[in-house]
Amino acid sequence: MGYHLPFWQALPAWTPGSALTWFPSPYLGLALWMGLLAALYLGVSQVERRRRGRLEPLLRQEATHPLFGPWSLAAGAFLLALGSLLLLLLQGRPWGVTAAFALWGGKLAQALGVPVLDWALFHNPPFAERLQESVLRDATSVTNFGLFLGAFLGAALSGSLRLKDLRRIPWSTHLGVFLGGVLMGYGARLAGGCNIGAYLGGTASFSLHGPLWGVFALLGTALGVRLRPVCRLENEGGSAPQAGGKEGLEAHRL
């Protein structure tokens, strides 16, 4: 991505701005921004109600364990907001994730003899400096290590981490997950972040790029959902195709 960055930066772009500066009063911008988010929530709720007949409750009615779950949408949203606020206070900048992946890739490429300092991405002084330092001195990298550990512990505590099941996953699923991860990482760096750095951070800072990221993420998700059966991944309302047999062959024809 760092090698291709000049091509993408040369494309037409809007001037960066915030909803708080678009109007004579920042309070007016804040009110309109919150109204936009409320309208988005109501619209998505209507779509979900028509398709599923009900809304996923924000708070679970059944008893849940604080460690083992399952956790409600409201609890997840609260913890995301709290984590975002704490990282903003500790780091002095919004929560980011994918910048560390670019740094790790640059370090690996540099170790293999690739002149990454000639790439436009690493002309940026902070990136160039971090390239020469340990990843443990990079706040985003350390945060990501915590995310990996937290995801592992969360899956283990909820009982959804079963390493023996990895042997049953067909090669097409592994390939699809790998290609999807590459495309997500590349797109996230072009968009200035992922659903955390671009969407959550952009929306919380009243930047238009947050909702725009969300719109195109939904479009990409719709396409990805239709491609999931090709990689033998289950969609809601269907069953996961098996590795072999007629069902597996039919999945590859979709």
Q: Are 210 and 216 in contact (CB under 8 A)?
A: no
Q: Is 163 exposed, middle or buried (0-12, 13-18, 19+ CB in 10 A)?
A: exposed
Residue 182: phi and psi, rounded to 5, are -65, -45
Does 76 score more than 70 pLDDT?
Answer: yes
How far, in Å, CA of 139 to CA of 149, rounded?
16
Distance of CA 84 to the CA centre of its chain: 14
pLDDT the model gives residue 146: 92
Predicted local distance difference test score (pLDDT) of residue 112: 92
Work out the percent of the chain whose per-residue pLDDT is above 70: 86
Backbone angles phi, psi at 65, to 5 degrees: -85, 135
Q: How far apart (Å, rounded) are the C-alpha atoms in residues 247 and 254?
A: 11
Question: How far apart are the C-alpha atoms of 171 and 123, rounded to whole Å?
Answer: 39
CA atoms within 13 A on the CB side of 182: 6
Of residues 43 and 67, more confidence is placed in 43
What separation, in Å, do the N-terminal and C-terminal C-alpha atoms of the chain show? 30
What letter represents residue 16's amino acid?
P
Q: Model pTM greater than 0.85? A: no
- The residue among 14 and 223 whose pLDDT is bigger is 223
What size, in residues, is the chain?
Answer: 254
What is the CA angle 136-142-147, rounded to 5? 155
